[in-house]
Amino acid sequence: MKCIKFVYCKNIHGENIIEHPRRIISLDFMRGLAIIGVLISHNLILDVWYGKQAFQIVPVWVIGLLFPLLLVFTWAGSFVLISGITMSYSAYNRFSKGVPTQKIVFPIIINSIALLLLDPVRTLIFSRPHLFRGTMTYSLLAKPIITGEWAAPGIERLFLIGALPMIGLSGLLAAVLICTMFGKDREKRFDRNMRILMISGLVFSLLSIPLSYALEPVIDRMLNSAQPQYIAAYLLRILGSAQLSFFPMGCYVFFGMAYGMLLASGKDKAHIDARLKFYANGFFVATAVSIPLTFLLLKEPLNFIANIDIYSPTIIFFSMACITHIFKALVRYVEYGEPEKRARFAGRTLWIRRFGIVTLTLYIIEAVPGMFISEFFHHRFGGKVLWAVANTEQNAFMNNFPAIVLFVGSMFALWMLITWLWEKIHFIGSFEWLMVKVQGRFRKQRSTRLDLRKNLYDVTQNDPDH
């Protein structure tokens, strides 16, 4: 049985300074927790209740019971935030070692481009049925699972925009920010750069939301023309008008870059804790201010605030406040806590951090087992005919609480088993494994992304390659 290795070398500052460079396992934990949240949310909302129609099907008391989970479902920006923190933290430490800028940003650029290219793979091959302009469309694997027939997916499947493009574009933006802010004078300009990043994130979120709304009619005109411009419309949709478009979700990368720079700066525990608390409370204040302003400025304020197709400033600021408070607590308890506590945390969260190792793969393929197994639950507990076209008609399974718990529990147990077994062969065949292979052709130093000894068991590794 493998064990967690923990060795602590104390300097004159004791526990008030993070030993640099050291892997921030709080981020591994948050990443694993985030993908687990996605898996459970998708199973509930998309597999059990077939999407947005859940609010028309599910009793109010059930929605109330699940409200905390549904609220977390709006925290998709956490993936961009975590990505920004890891890129910033790693880059800052590598600059301190004298690594050239090109060697730092090149892997980020390659990784970002790969994410942009992988999203069409997800939507065309793996993802769930999607209603496009009044017609149900299917991915390559969704068609046989749902209807029992095989058919090539149409180009319209591209418009089911997922999280990968926003993360990819955010990575490219992060590369630019690293080049412009992480120079030789980064320590002298630390406070200035922190202000620039935080203010830029706020401004980006406020300006990009109306821009995202403005792109909707433009994309509609492209699709309604005699010769639909699918590719151009798809590229615009990556930028705006979809739930996970870069506008406004790219704002999270500014905040993530600031948090990563803060952790890597070598500031003491009290300083970092106070800063994160200030930012978290500031986001709560921004949330409170945004609500009356929305009511004053817009004709349909409630629809704007609650819109989950294009997130409002209220949702974004509230999610940032909650995530920042969680991150602050983890940094204080884990990264600055006693060595024994850090080791104990690493051991207890091993199974969660294991999910975090293959977040990309799980996000891409999760729909396939979800669709397949949920169809049998809809058949067994709801009377739905197998191999029937997906619809949103209510059946008994959608209101059968024990059956729903059994389904979600079964799916989670399946993913636990898959990740546990997959780890034994070092996640060979995963998309993370593939990306490491591709990146290896462009970099001399091998990536430690799938080095399980360092990333899961040896929590004192000296190269924070998140």
* CA nearest to 40, candidates 426, 305, 374: 374
Q: Is residue 73 part of a domain?
A: yes
- Tokens, residue 224: 């309604």
Q: Tell me the backbone φ, ψ of residue 132, rounded to 5 degrees.
A: -125, 110
> What pTM does this model have?
0.91
- Residue 301 in any domain: the answer is yes
In a domain, 2, yes or no: no
Alpha carbon 387 to its chain's center = 32
Specify the pLDDT at position 462. Answer: 44
* Per-residue pLDDT at 6: 39
Q: Give the residue ranges of DSSP H helices in 298-392.
A: 301-306, 313-330, 339-348, 350-357, 359-365, 367-382
Contacts 24+ apart (CB under 8 A), 461-466: 461/22, 461/23, 462/21, 462/22, 463/21, 464/21, 464/22, 464/23, 464/24, 464/86, 464/89, 464/90, 464/93, 465/90, 466/23, 466/24, 466/27, 466/28, 466/86, 466/87, 466/89, 466/90
How far apart (Å, rounded) are the C-alpha atoms in residues 154 and 144?
15
Buried-exposed string 359-369: b where 16+ CB fall within 10 A, e elsewhere: bbbbbbbbbbb
**Sequence-separated (6 or more) residues with CB below 8 Å from residue 190:** 261, 265
The pLDDT assigned to 316 comes to 96
Q: Is residue 39 part of a domain?
A: yes
Instruction: Please report, as a single letter, which amino acid is at residue 423.
Output: E
In a domain, 466, yes or no: no
pLDDT tens, position by position, for the chain (466 residues)? Answer: 444 443 333 333 334 555 545 789 999 999 999 999 999 999 998 999 887 666 677 777 776 776 676 677 778 899 999 999 999 999 999 998 899 999 999 999 999 999 999 999 999 999 999 888 888 899 999 999 988 899 999 999 998 899 999 999 999 999 999 999 987 788 889 999 999 999 999 999 999 999 999 999 999 999 988 888 989 999 999 999 999 999 999 999 999 999 999 999 989 999 999 999 999 999 999 999 999 999 999 999 999 998 888 999 999 999 999 999 999 999 999 998 888 888 899 999 999 999 999 999 999 999 999 999 999 999 999 988 887 665 557 788 988 989 999 999 999 999 999 999 999 999 999 999 999 888 877 776 666 777 777 788 876 554 445 5
Q: C-alpha 324: how far from its chain's center?
A: 15
| Token pair of 354 as six digits | 């294991």
What is the residue range of 60's domain?
A: 14-457
Q: Is 91 part of a structural domain of the chain?
A: yes
Cβ atoms of 359 and 78 within 8 Å: the answer is no
Question: What is the dihedral sign for C-alpha 382, 383, 389, 393?
Answer: negative
Total domains in the chain come to 1
Q: How far apart are CA 432 and CA 428, in angstroms?
A: 9
Q: Determine the pLDDT at residue 466.
A: 53
Alpha carbons 175 and 78: distance in angstroms, whole number? 19
Nearest alpha carbon to residue 430 among 363, 374, 384: 363
Give the number of other Cβ atoms within 10 Å of residue 240's Cβ.
24
The alpha carbon dihedral of 59, 65, 71, 76 has a sign of negative
Is there a domain that residue 7 lies in? no
Residue 68 lies in a domain: yes
Inter-residue contact 458 to 22 (CB < 8 Å): no
Q: In sequence order, what are the residues at sequence separation of 6 or more whose Cβ sits closer than 8 angstroms to the Cβ of residue 262?
A: 194, 272, 275, 276
